[in-house]
A and B are shown apart, each in its own frame.
Chain A
């Protein structure tokens, strides 16, 4: 079965993309779910300076998922370029790699893009303007239409690779944000990121997470994220869309495609079961055969028409 797909001009051998923050620097899962099996993998968000991350505990479990407050812990741009990208490229010559950029300001985003442009390993940028766990940048950026527009416009001027924008579900107008990103020239929008959440320890009588709040991920957020993807596709049918949030099986992945997404990110589910990718590919293939769909395009967005 032909599972290939296109996100804008970006061609993928299958529609499944490892979500940023859940796939490390692309080598941690090499024994269990290697990068070349994915349509593409998005490495952990990189910032200009190294970030130690938030005070532990950084994650906890919920009924149908987890809450994380990692706080964009990462090695910083210099080490990312000098060590992480070369290790990834050496171990995964056949894999497509997308860099997730996390700036606190417009200038930081542009600095990252400038320094990473021309590095052959990186085939696209995903702008993380939707992380709920940082004081600056993150979803504060992504909920602001003007800031998002300016960011995408400036990024498009200097980027030599496609620019994707990962939008937050935590705004009253996710379609509005997607619209300004599209108008500013974004090659794709990724809908969505984790949903702000918390948990309280009833024995300690305190919030569980060191940072009090975190981002909810896993099957719990799937229906909410799907709705946003669907709404964006309905409003902006020409915009390339990537679904993200709660996919742990083929059936959920197909719902994103039927909502209009050309590709689907998978993250938290891999923590639970690293074989998720193999299974969703098989499920999708069987589904397409059963439904007589020859390509992803044959059924993409059908539910939104």
Chain B
């Protein structure tokens, strides 16, 4: 059930340059949210923007949603400027969720930028000791310090300035020389997702990707967030996704 709830900002930390980790208390939505779901926030009026903004959820803590938000425009600036105890309108849970991965099977989570959020969530739920989380950014300033990360999370930067050197797909490819997961889940920029599609098909590993597209309604009514399907036609990222089998969509 989709719920509209006034959220209270519990915490807001800048974990890397312009990258915020926010906890927003919404008891009803928190009770229902699943890994892969997203919520849409109504940016504060000061933003001067019109539509809501979709964000995937990194976890739930004490009836609060954990969100990873990069301050990249008027709307995200207004949201990431909110302080403790300030409120914001939240709509959720929206979209589909990741499938239930068998607990005894290894899962690799490949994320870029704020796309890491939903991977943290599915990673914490799955919890196999062989799971790996790989979080990539262009350079060290885009990513937090390793101490702030969940166990099993490795960082990667294109220039090697923090964590492994290379983009997420390149690093995963290196890992595949000596290890292999049963499943892959990925979220991030299109280039990363395309790389994961290729990797998954090459190694024949079932993979799910969480997609992003500009959204208007976020609930499946307007068909504005269309993504092309390999089988022809389009799916709505907000209602048929955001999680798709990697081979299902055309990026």
* Chain A interface residues (CB < 8 Å from chain B): 21-24, 28-29, 31-32, 44, 52-53, 56-66, 68, 70, 73, 218-219, 268, 270-275
B233 and A52 contacting across the interface, CB-CB below 8 Å = yes
Chain A: minimal CB distance from B240 (Å): 12
When A24-B220, A70-B224 are in contact, do A272 and B52 touch as well, CB less than 8 Å? yes
Minimal beta-carbon separation of B45 from chain A (angstroms)? 11
Complex-state Cα separation, A31 to B4, whole angstroms? 9
* B214 adjacent to A59 (CB under 8 Å): yes
User: Which residue of the partner chain B has the closest CB to A219?
Assistant: B50
Indicate whether A22 sits within 8 Å of B217 (C-beta atoms), given known contacts A31-B1, A58-B225. Answer: yes
B221→A24 contact, CB < 8 A: yes
What 0/1 pattern do residues 77 to 89 of B give for CB contact below 8 A with A?
0000000000001
B222 at interface, CB cutoff 8 A: yes
Which residues of A lie under 8 Å from residue B220 when comparing CB positions? 24, 28
A70 engages B50 (CB within 8 Å): no
B214 & A60 in contact (Cβ 8 Å cutoff): yes
Is chain A's interface secondary structure helix, strand, loop, or mixed overall?
A: loop
The reply on B228 being an interface residue by CB < 8 A is yes
Residue of A whose beta carbon sits closest to that of B74: A61
Give the interface of B toward A (CB within 8 A): 1-4, 42, 48-52, 89, 91, 213-228, 232-234, 239
- A218: chain B residues at CB < 8 Å are 50
User: What separation, in Å, do the CA atoms of A274 and B3 have in the docked complex?
Assistant: 10
Which residues in A have their C-beta under 8 angstroms from that of B224? 58-59, 68, 70
With A23-B221, A28-B221, A272-B42 as contacts: A61 and B239 at CB distance below 8 Å: no
| Cβ–Cβ contact A73 & B239, under 8 A | no
Contacting residues, chain B, for A68 (C-beta < 8 A): 216, 222, 224
Partner of A31, one of B3, B215, B225, B233: B3
- B51-A32 in contact (CB<8A): no
User: Which residue of B has the minimal Cβ distance to A30?
Assistant: B2
Q: Bound complex: CA of A173 vs CA of B175, how far in Å?
A: 67
Q: Would you mind naming 6 contact pairs between A and B with Cβ atoms under 8 Å apart?
A: A21-B222, A28-B219, A56-B225, A62-B50, A66-B216, A271-B222
Q: Give the distance in Å from the alpha carbon of A219 to the alpha carbon of B50 in the complex.
A: 9
Q: How far is the CA of A31 from the CA of B183 in the complex (A)?
A: 34
Q: Find chain A residues with CB under 8 A from B227 CB.
A: 56
Question: How far apart sit A29 and B3, CA to CA, in the bound complex (Å)?
Answer: 11
CB distance from A79 to the nearest CB of B (A): 12
Q: How far is the CB of B183 from chain A (nearest CB, A)?
A: 28
Question: Chain A residues near B219 (CB, 8 Å)?
Answer: 24, 28-29, 32
Complex: chain B residue closest to A218, CB-CB: B50
Give Cα A202–Cα B49 distance, bound, in whole angstroms.
18
From residue B222, how far is it (CB to closest CB) to chain A in Å?
6
The answer to whether B222 and A59 have CB atoms under 8 Å apart is yes
Shortest beta-carbon distance, B220 to chain A, in Å?
A: 5
Besides A59-B215, A274-B91, A275-B4, 13 other CB < 8 A contacts? A23-B221, A24-B217, A24-B222, A28-B217, A56-B213, A59-B225, A61-B51, A64-B50, A66-B216, A218-B50, A219-B50, A271-B216, A272-B51
B216 to chain A, nearest CB (A): 5
- B42 vs chain A, min Cβ distance (A): 7
How distant is B18 from chain A, measured CB to nearest CB, in Å?
17
Which residues of A sit under 8 angstroms from B232, Cβ to Cβ? 52
Q: What are the residues of chain A within 8 A of B221 when measuring CB–CB? A: 22-24, 28-29, 271
How far is B84's CA from A29's CA once the two chains are assembled, in angstroms?
31
Chain A hits for B42, CB < 8 A: 272-273
Q: Which of these, B50, B218, B239, contacts A63 with CB under 8 Å? A: B50
